[in-house]
């Protein structure tokens, strides 16, 4: 997991306060997940290299005892490398969780770009108006065109002020019950508000567009400021409510009974990664354990005595096959007989 300074954190993370913070939080989580996968692959590669080097050393060695010890360690190295395949299911789930969080981030960036673009542009146009929208014949209407050009920029910068809190909560991800996430409505066209204004008897107006297309007005009002219009109608203040960027509590693991959080139903058919699906991706990471083997070069002669696969192999070589393995003390003695002892590295 990513190393972090010791910072107090609760079971319910409050570090995420904006969409940009959630993006940073998800990025840190994905990096931690990738670090687990990369670390396992590096250990496997290192073990195979060590086994190859030990095989070469055994071929060149003339002392029988040393040759035997080198071959034993080479065999153990290959066995440990092969054992990493037992993590295949966990690695697969980690990769799926990483993909989910990265998709979530891409969609959050798009939501930020859309929601923080600024004011909508509203253009009034009587030429495309629909007749009799209210009432019978003679009822007037006013059509509008609403534009909100996309901006290909999310505007997030490194959250330096909150980075330590985010990093600390990522480091404590195994024990968190919840974190803050942007609600699903951020990805939907909801909470749009606008005001409709009317002045005078618009139903009796001889309609024309205002010259700046800011309202539908009477023919005599096309050049007047809005405050001086005698007859007109306007749609204005078209905007998105600001609370889309306010995160809410997102459960990773429920406190009641400690049961795992459920996946979003039909998540593969959803247009965007919901907060629930993101929480489930984190939960899945937590319940998949990756077991990393020790490389031989990490061990000293003394620490090798404590490793079960080394003890059993040494016992088999020194005493031959037995119906039952001798006790741990005798197994350690077998390791010392083959490898010696001390604090020195064995490779």
Reported as a pLDDT band with limits 50, 70 and 90, residue 118 is low
CA angle 275, 188, 123 (to 5 degrees): 155
pLDDT at 75: 96
- Distance between CA atoms of 251 and 257, rounded to whole angstroms? 14
Parse the chain into domains and list their residue ranges.
19-114+156-184+247-298, 117-154+192-240, 299-347
pLDDT at 190: 79
Q: Is the pTM of this model over 0.95?
A: no
DSSP 142: -
pLDDT at 312: 92
80 compared with 161, residue with greater pLDDT: 80
Average pLDDT rounded to a whole number, residues 15-30 = 94
Say if CB 226 and CB 234 are below 8 A apart. Answer: yes
Tokens of 209: 């567009």
Place of tokens 């002045």: 199
What are the DSSP E strand ranges found in 74-134?
121-125
| Maximum separation of any 2 CA atoms in the chain, in Å | 112
pLDDT at 264: 63
Tokens of 157: 């910068």
Reported as a pLDDT band with limits 50, 70 and 90, residue 76 is very high
214 CB-near residues (< 8 Å, 6+ apart): 124, 226, 234
Tokens of 16: 């995420």
Q: Which of 339, 293, 343 is CA-nearest to residue 315?
A: 339
pLDDT for 4 beyond 50: no
């Amino acid at each position: 997991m990513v190393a972090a300074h010791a910072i107090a954190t609760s079971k319910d993370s409050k570090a995420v306060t904006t969409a940009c913070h959630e993006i940073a939080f998800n990025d840190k989580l994905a990096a931690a997940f990738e670090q687990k996968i990369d670390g396992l692959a590096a250990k496997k590669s290192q073990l195979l290299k060590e086994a190859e080097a030990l095989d070469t050393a055994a071929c060149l060695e003339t002392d029988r005892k040393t040759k035997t010890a080198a071959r034993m360690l080479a065999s153990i190295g290959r066995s440990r490398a092969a054992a990493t395949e037992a993590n295949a299911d966990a690695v697969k789930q980690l990769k799926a969780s990483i993909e989910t969080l990265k998709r979530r981030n891409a969609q959050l960036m798009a939501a930020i770009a859309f929601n923080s673009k600024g004011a909508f542009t509203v253009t009034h146009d009587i030429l495309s108006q629909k007749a009799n929208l209210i009432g019978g014949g003679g009822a007037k209407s006013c059509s509008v065109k609403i534009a909100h050009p996309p901006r290909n920029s999310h505007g997030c910068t490194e959250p330096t002020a909150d980075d330590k809190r985010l990093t600390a909560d990522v480091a404590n991800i195994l024990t968190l019950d919840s974190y803050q996430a942007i609600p699903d409505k951020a990805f939907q066209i909801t909470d749009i508000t606008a005001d409709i204004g009317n002045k005078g008897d618009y139903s009796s107006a001889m309609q024309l567009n205002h010259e700046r297309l800011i309202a539908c007005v009477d023919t005599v009002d096309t050049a007047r400021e809005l405050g001086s219009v005698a007859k007109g109608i306007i749609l204005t203040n078209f905007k998105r409510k600001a609370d889309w960027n306010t995160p809410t509590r997102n459960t990773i693991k429920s406190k009641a009974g400690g049961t795992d959080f459920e996946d979003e139903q039909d998540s593969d058919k959803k247009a965007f990664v919901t907060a629930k699906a993101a929480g489930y991706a984190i939960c899945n990471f937590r319940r998949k354990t990756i077991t990393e083997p020790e490389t031989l070069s990490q061990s000293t002669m003394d620490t090798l005595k404590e490793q079960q696969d080394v003890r059993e192999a040494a016992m088999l070589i020194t005493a031959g096959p037995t119906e039952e393995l001798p006790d741990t003390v005798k197994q350690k003695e077998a390791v010392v007989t083959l490898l010696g002892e001390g604090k020195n590295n064995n490779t």
